[in-house]
């Protein structure tokens, strides 16, 4: 009987020692990014970014991202890296739920709701209906309603997050996307994007 009790006590002591050892071990280190094969989802501020054939006259579009913006719209999240290209600012948007969706904003036009042929009341009605069959025509193309909702954004060069209401439209049978933002006290902001293949984007890590 004494031997049995001794074995039980020793077993408990051994278990306690093992538990303490496991608690003291630091978590395994996060694998370092493969800097020679960075994915578009790895992009961040400071990186040099090259997009094959997306520049003016079908040259490569090369820019250095000087800021990163994260967007949170409930279950939908995406980010944009942006920077100067020639005489304008461009942005690379990366998101998607199941598959990675990559869009480029490089259009030099400063578009307004009037340019799209839309009125604020129409956007409000689309938001109320939440109907993906809603559409409008612009630039000789049909743009289908995709979503509208509140969005919170956090920019790497700003200390305080901001919020705005957002509408999104996809080009019918095409690769385009239009994003419309409305922040309180500010005019509507229209952004025209073009969908691109993730494989067309090369990321070069900048200095931390």
Q: Is 48 a member of any domain?
A: yes
Q: Which of 42, 46, 40 is nearest to 32 (CA)?
A: 42
Q: What is the pTM of this model?
A: 0.82
DSSP 53: T
**Tens place of pLDDT for every residue, the chain, 208 residues?**
445 334 333 454 444 534 554 455 555 554 556 787 899 999 999 999 999 999 999 999 999 999 999 999 999 999 999 999 999 999 999 998 789 999 999 999 999 999 999 999 999 999 999 999 999 999 999 999 999 999 999 999 999 999 999 999 999 999 999 999 999 999 999 999 999 999 999 999 987 5
Q: Is 141 a member of any domain?
A: yes
Rounded Cα gap, residues 155 and 142, in angstroms: 32
Number of separate domains in the chain: 1
Q: Is 2 a member of any domain?
A: no
Q: Is 111 a member of any domain?
A: yes
Rounded Cα gap, residues 73 and 50, in angstroms: 28
| Structural domain range at position 148 | 35-204
Q: Is 191 a member of any domain?
A: yes
Q: Is 75 a member of any domain?
A: yes
Position 158 scores a pLDDT of: 92
Position 32 scores a pLDDT of: 57
Q: Which of 7, 38, 33, 58 is nearest to 49 (CA)?
A: 38
Position 207 scores a pLDDT of: 73
Residue 192, φ and ψ in degrees, nearest 5:
-105, 125
Q: How many angstroms from the chain centroid is the CA of residue 139?
A: 26
């Amino acid at each position: 009987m004494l031997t049995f009790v001794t074995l039980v006590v020793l077993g408990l002591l051994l278990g306690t020692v093992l538990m303490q050892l496991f608690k003291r071990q630091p978590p395994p280190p996060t694998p370092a990014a493969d800097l020679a094969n960075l994915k578009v989802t790895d992009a961040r501020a400071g990186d040099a970014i090259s997009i094959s054939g997306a520049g003016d006259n079908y040259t490569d579009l090369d820019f250095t991202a000087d800021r990163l913006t994260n967007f949170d719209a409930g279950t939908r999240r995406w980010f944009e890296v942006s920077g100067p290209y020639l005489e304008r600012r461009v942005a690379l948007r990366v998101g998607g739920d199941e598959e990675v969706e990559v869009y480029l904003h490089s259009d030099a036009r400063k578009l307004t709701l009037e340019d799209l042929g839309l009125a604020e009341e129409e956007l409000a009605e689309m938001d109320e209906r939440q109907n993906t069959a809603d559409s409008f025509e612009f630039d000789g193309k049909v743009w289908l309603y995709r979503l509208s909702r509140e969005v919170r954004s956090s920019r790497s060069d700003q200390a305080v997050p901001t919020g705005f209401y957002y509408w999104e439209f996809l080009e019918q049978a095409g690769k385009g996307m239009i994003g419309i933002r409305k922040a309180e006290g500010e005019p509507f902001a229209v952004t025209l994007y073009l969908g691109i293949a993730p494989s067309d984007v090369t990321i070069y890590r900048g200095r931390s």
